[in-house]
Structure 1
């Protein structure tokens, strides 16, 4: 079901449509749905648990669901699988090498076989891109799908960008100093080269002048004199 279709729904039909969307295989961003006026109305009605589940799919993880499971609708197998995929994305945003032990704990899977099946599925669906390292019991993540930004995520992003900008300024300052030193060294070398060329020219002049003085030609009674 498309977002445009959801706009026309309300009550139980809307709650059912939202629950179905949480199973959609290629849907990992939910901000467009959360911002719909009729969906926001679910928050204060009898279908509030569905709205809270939608928010959890947007910003939360499987561990968050387990902590609040008593107040939320029971997950279908497809929703459970999707929420685990979303949790992997969140973990991959903080570290690019995810150990099996961490994933087994966070995703509450029984064994490595179940975990690897889930990871292979995530790789196949391009939820994450990377490779399994079975020898070291970890998955190396190159990149992953994006998720919605949580309400409190923006300040952290701003701080990260400011730190990045500060780092860039420091690098540019270091490069500028190196360029200045290189320019000064180039000028020094050029000056030295000019001085050497001047000395060579003077030496050539003196050499030619000495040759004419030592072996000069001039008139004499006997003809030429040496």
Structure 2
């Protein structure tokens, strides 16, 4: 994308300088060349050249209208006003159709094949898909996915066009809304991070308490087992206990005489 932007900037600078040194019909030729160039898709800087603005109200004003069309218009707009504009050469027709796709992508990221074929004067799906692949995506002005099943073009990226008169205020408002939404989202994420950190600390504290309690229980059980074992030792070692009983069993018993 950086190469495309750099090439655009170089072309704009070239045609601005070229237009600044021309007037009248010669300036018209510069405008036709600019609008026919396969790599130029922005024209507002050329429109701002004083000599171009001076075409207004002259016999060559149609070239000014032509340049305005390529800056802001679409193929369907050209068709509806073609009688008041110079006839387009094939390269200009292609360029205007490419720009039409960019305009459609400004407001909708899913472009239906039927809508595109109508706007671009394309008669079949194969021709439309070839145009989108070869003349739009390959050129680099859009990226997206062709969905033949749903008959639509899913736009993932589209280059921007020149701002229309009066569109700047709307764009500033849109960017301001986007900035406010981003700030709110960032605040929400930060709050969730704080909550997660708090829950993590509580979980660690609870885990430590459980581990400490387990250690205490183990100590208690160990102490009780030791006490019980010592108690048994004392029982078996007392006089008259088991050992005395065994000794008594081994002692010879006195025999009693039978009663006669």
TM-score range, shorter chain: 0.7 to 0.9
2:77 to 60, 64, 67: 64
1:167 to 175, 181, 184: 181
Task: Provide the aligned length of Structure 1 versus Structure 2.
Answer: 216
Which protein is bigger by CA-based radius of gyration?
2
Root mean square deviation of aligned Cα: 3.0
* TM-score, normalised relative to structure 1: 0.78
Partner of 1:219: none
- Mark the runs of 5 or more structure 1 residues left unpaired by the alignment: 216-226
Partner of 1:10: 23
Which stretch of the first structure deviates more once superposed, 189-198 or 51-60? 189-198
Give 1:203-222 correspondences, 5 Å limit.
204=219
1:79 to 85, 92, 96: 92
2: CA distance, partners of 1:192 / 1:71: 80
Partner of 1:44: 57
Partner of 2:115: 102
Structure-2 change in CA distance of 1:196 and 1:111 (3 Å): closer
Q: Does 1:34 align with 2:47?
A: yes
- Does the residue aligned with 1:22 lie in a helix, a strand or coil? helix
Which stretch of the first structure deviates more once superposed, 54-63 or 167-176? 167-176
Q: Does 1:93 align with 2:117?
A: no
- Does the residue aligned with 1:42 lie in a helix, a strand or coil? coil
Shift of 1:130: 3.0
- Mark the runs of 5 or more structure 2 residues left unpaired by the alignment: 1-10, 231-260
Shift of 1:137: 2.8
1: CA distance, partners of 2:84 / 2:78: 9
Asked which structure has the greater RCO (Cα within 8 Å, sep 6+), the reply is 1
Partner of 2:170: 156
2: CA distance, partners of 1:134 / 1:197: 60
* TM-score, normalised relative to structure 2: 0.69
2: CA distance, partners of 1:126 / 1:185: 48
- Does the residue aligned with 1:12 lie in a helix, a strand or coil? helix
Which stretch of the first structure deviates more once superposed, 116-125 or 194-203? 194-203
